[in-house]
């Protein structure tokens, strides 16, 4: 089997960082695949397949590890006069590429590159440049290069309107303008890059953008265990700035007075490892809450391709909520909603929600911008529920505030104020408040993935996953109850 030394993904990775290309070829075992998002890959495939329907009678070249087989099948399709070919594959001097959808015209070809995002990013132009360059060298007249993305303002109404759902952007000029850089980089990769010597490349902003690099752990292995890249709420630019000044460890930063004072108070608490309890601010904060309190948490899913009316690509769509009601005397009541899979649950969920939270009640969320966004969308889509939903929206308070403002800080939070960091810091020994003790679903992204997979599960699996989802979401609101109690207790400590 021929191993082509450059493919379009390898080329794009080389543009991001030469060392990344080198690592892919020489030390791929060092790659940390936690940077890969399985859901993103699945979405990409789903969108790619749907985009093929924009064209008539698309002939698909099946994926094979044997790239020659793909190339031969493409030639066969061209010989048979097929007009649209998906995954049309070519190679020229060891450079391989598969075009998402190739249109073969009498006087040349049109490249259609499909992306599941909602805008044309710069990195797509490198991809387009590589494809058009290699195809041109292979003797094809590349007439046009299109990038097909999702249209974020498309709102589904009835059947999917593919011509509205997708946006087609002609990037021919931008792609051709980059041909010289493509040529230079390809030449460097094939002639100058010595695969026996690890490139001397330092970490920089390209380690994070356009894609997070899976070799970051390898490239920063010389840093101490507690290093500046672990600092929370400090942006990448500031971290790289410190790195370039030779400040690697927490103590390096503390000792460097200029940097340290510039980053105060963002990193001070993390570095000095203080415990902070600002009783005055916390007291002011908790006095705003009026019992009974309605602790609310949604789980949502984002569909690239809107499955129901009134939905846009990637709109946050709720499928579950948990609601703990806490009375002034400490009594707790729990309500919850979890949609069955395979139907548009939004109306049912919104109706249940306004029945569960009476008008004027004080609702509580952790990072309420998210919950408010979901409620606002529901209110927009169901005008007859707008009054009640707006009432919940207006009466919501955010339990994250004391932690975000460092009125309550514990070193175990490691600079983070997410509930997943705050909870174990506040209740280190409480088994019932540890997400790790949950079965199956322990994080929001896992909840979303589990709900997405439900339609393909057996009844038994579904029931199991439903139980896991209910337990997970319930812990989110129970955690809020306990955090609130901790805050109130802290005032009198």
Site size toward ligand SF4, by CB under 6 A: 12
- Least gap, CB of 28 to ligand SF4 (angstroms): 12
How many beta carbons lie within 10 A of that of residue 483, not counting itself?
24
Q: Which long-range contacts (CB under 8 A, 24 or more apart) does 280-286 make?
A: 281/402, 281/405, 281/407, 282/402, 282/407, 282/408, 282/487, 282/490, 282/491, 283/491, 285/401, 285/402, 285/407, 285/487, 286/484, 286/487, 286/488, 286/491
Round to whole Å and give the CA distance between 385 and 99: 47
Out of 31, 140, 176, 206, the only residue in the binding site for ligand SF4 (CB under 6 A) is 206
Which among 15-23, 40-48, 322-330, 469-477 is the span making contact with ligand SF4, rule CB under 6 A?
15-23
Out of 8, 10, 19, 442, the only residue in the binding site for ligand SF4 (CB under 6 A) is 19
Helices 122-137, 179-187: crossing angle, 10 deg rounding: 80
Out of 123, 168, 201, 277, the only residue in the binding site for ligand SF4 (CB under 6 A) is 201
Round to whole Å and give the CA distance between 23 and 29: 9
State yes or no: residue 140 binds ligand SF4 (CB under 6 A): no
3-state SS, one letter per residue, for 385-425? HHHHHHHHHHCEEECCHHHHCCCEECHHHCCCCCHHHHHHH
Q: Which C-beta is closer to ligand SF4: that of 206 or that of 289?
A: 206
β-partners of residue 400 are none
State yes or no: residue 185 binds ligand SF4 (CB under 6 A): no
Tally of helices (H runs) and strands (E runs) in the chain: 21, 13
**Residue whose structure tokens are 């590429």:** 97
- Residue burial 97-124, b: 16+ Cβ < 10 Å; e: rest: bbbbbbbbeeeebbbbbbbbbbebeeeb
Beta strands in 450-489 (DSSP E): none
Cβ-in-10-Å burial (0-12, 13-18, 19+) of 383 comes to exposed
Q: Measured in Å, how far apart are the chain's first and last C-alpha atoms? A: 70
Contact 345, 321 (CB under 8 A): no
Which among 54-62, 200-208, 319-327, 434-442 is the span making contact with ligand SF4, rule CB under 6 A?
200-208
**Residue whose structure tokens are 């495939």:** 45
Q: Which C-beta is closer to ligand SF4: that of 19 or that of 442?
A: 19
Q: Percent helix, strand, coil in the chain (nearest 5)?
A: 50, 15, 35
Q: Which C-beta is closer to ligand SF4: that of 198 or that of 445?
A: 198
Cβ-in-10-Å burial (0-12, 13-18, 19+) of 351 comes to middle
CB within 8 Å of 405: residues ≥ 6 apart: 281
State yes or no: residue 12 binds ligand SF4 (CB under 6 A): no
- Least gap, CB of 11 to ligand SF4 (angstroms): 15
- Least gap, CB of 218 to ligand SF4 (angstroms): 7
- For ligand SF4, the binding residues in 42-81 under the rule CB under 6 A are none
Q: Which C-beta is closer to ligand SF4: that of 215 or that of 321?
A: 215
Q: Which C-beta is closer to ligand SF4: that of 203 or that of 413?
A: 203
Nearest to 22 by CA among 215, 265, 163, 293: 215
Q: Which C-beta is closer to ligand SF4: that of 61 or that of 240?
A: 240
Which among 184-192, 202-210, 428-436, 460-468 is the span making contact with ligand SF4, rule CB under 6 A?
202-210
Tokens, residue 44: 């990409």
- Least gap, CB of 348 to ligand SF4 (angstroms): 46
- Least gap, CB of 220 to ligand SF4 (angstroms): 7
Q: Which C-beta is closer to ligand SF4: that of 33 or that of 429?
A: 33
- For ligand SF4, the binding residues in 244-273 under the rule CB under 6 A are none
Contact 271, 250 (CB under 8 A): yes
Round to whole Å and give the CA distance between 363 and 393: 8
Which among 19-27, 267-275, 307-315, 452-460 is the span making contact with ligand SF4, rule CB under 6 A?
19-27
State yes or no: residue 90 binds ligand SF4 (CB under 6 A): no
Q: Which C-beta is closer to ligand SF4: that of 207 or that of 305?
A: 207
x/- string (CB under 6 A) for ligand SF4, residues 208-237? -----x-xx--x------------------
Q: Give the containing element (helix H, strand E) for 79.
A: helix 67-79
- Least gap, CB of 211 to ligand SF4 (angstroms): 9
DSSP state of 169: E
Which among 38-46, 198-206, 330-338, 453-461 is the span making contact with ligand SF4, rule CB under 6 A?
198-206
- Least gap, CB of 224 to ligand SF4 (angstroms): 17
Which among 65-73, 153-161, 205-213, 451-459 is the span making contact with ligand SF4, rule CB under 6 A?
205-213
Out of 20, 234, 242, 364, the only residue in the binding site for ligand SF4 (CB under 6 A) is 20
Q: Which C-beta is closer to ligand SF4: that of 239 or that of 442?
A: 239
Q: Which C-beta is closer to ligand SF4: that of 141 or that of 209?
A: 209
- Least gap, CB of 208 to ligand SF4 (angstroms): 8
Q: Which C-beta is closer to ligand SF4: that of 198 or that of 394?
A: 198
Q: Which residues bind ligand SF4 (CB under 6 A)?
A: 17, 19-20, 23, 201, 203, 206-207, 213, 215-216, 219
């Amino acid at each position: 089997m021929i191993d082509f030394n450059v493919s379009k993904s390898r080329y794009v990775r080389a543009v991001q960082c030469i060392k990344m290309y080198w690592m892919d070829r020489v030390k791929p075992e060092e790659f940390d695949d936690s940077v890969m998002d399985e859901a993103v890959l699945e979405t990409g495939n789903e969108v790619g397949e749907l985009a093929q329907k924009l064209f008539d009678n698309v002939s698909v070249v099946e994926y094979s590890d044997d790239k020659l087989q793909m190339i031969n099948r493409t030639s066969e399709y061209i010989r048979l006069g097929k007009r649209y070919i998906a995954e049309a594959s070519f190679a020229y001097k060891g450079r391989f590429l598969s075009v998402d959808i190739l249109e073969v015209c009498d006087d040349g070809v049109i490249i259609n590159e499909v992306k599941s995002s909602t805008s044309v990013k710069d990195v797509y132009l490198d991809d387009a440049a590589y494809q058009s360059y290699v195809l041109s060298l292979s003797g094809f007249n590349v007439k046009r290069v299109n990038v097909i993305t999702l249209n974020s303002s498309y709102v589904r109404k009835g059947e999917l309107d593919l011509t509205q759902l997708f946006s087609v952007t002609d990037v021919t000029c931008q792609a051709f303008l980059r041909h010289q850089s493509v040529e230079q980089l390809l030449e460097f990769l094939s002639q100058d890059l010595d695969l026996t010597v690890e490139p001397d490349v330092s970490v920089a902003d390209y380690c994070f953008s356009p894609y997070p690099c899976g070799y970051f752990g390898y490239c920063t292995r010389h840093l101490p265990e507690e290093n500046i890249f672990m600092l929370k709420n400090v942006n990448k630019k500031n971290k790289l700035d410190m790195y370039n000044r030779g400040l690697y460890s927490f103590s390096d930063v503390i000792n460097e007075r200029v940097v340290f004072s510039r980053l105060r108070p963002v990193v001070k608490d993390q570095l000095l490892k203080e415990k902070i309890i600002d009783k005055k601010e916390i007291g002011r904060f908790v006095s705003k809450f009026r019992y009974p309190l309605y602790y609310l948490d949604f789980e949502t899913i984002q569909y690239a391709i809107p499955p129901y009316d009134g939905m846009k690509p990637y709109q946050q769509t709720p499928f579950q909520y948990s609601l703990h009601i806490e009375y002034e005397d400490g009594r707790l009541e729990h309500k919850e909603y979890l949609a069955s899979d395979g139907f548009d649950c939004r109306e049912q969920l919104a109706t249940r929600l306004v029945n569960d939270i009476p008008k004027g009640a004080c609702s509580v969320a952790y990072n309420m911008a998210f919950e408010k966004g979901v409620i606002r969308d529901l209110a927009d889509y169901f005008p007859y529920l707008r009054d009640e939903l707006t009432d919940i929206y207006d009466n919501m308070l955010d339990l994250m505030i004391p932690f975000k403002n460092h009125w309550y800080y514990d070193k175990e939070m490691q600079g983070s104020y997410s509930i997943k960091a705050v909870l174990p810091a506040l209740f280190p020994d409480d088994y019932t408040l540890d997400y790790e003790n949950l079965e199956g679903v322990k994080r929001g992204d896992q909840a979303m993935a589990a709900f997405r997979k439900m339609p393909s599960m057996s009844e038994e699996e579904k029931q199991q996953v439903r139980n896991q989802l209910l337990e997970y979401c319930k812990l989110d609101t129970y955690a809020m109850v306990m955090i609130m109690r901790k805050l109130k207790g802290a005032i009198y400590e």
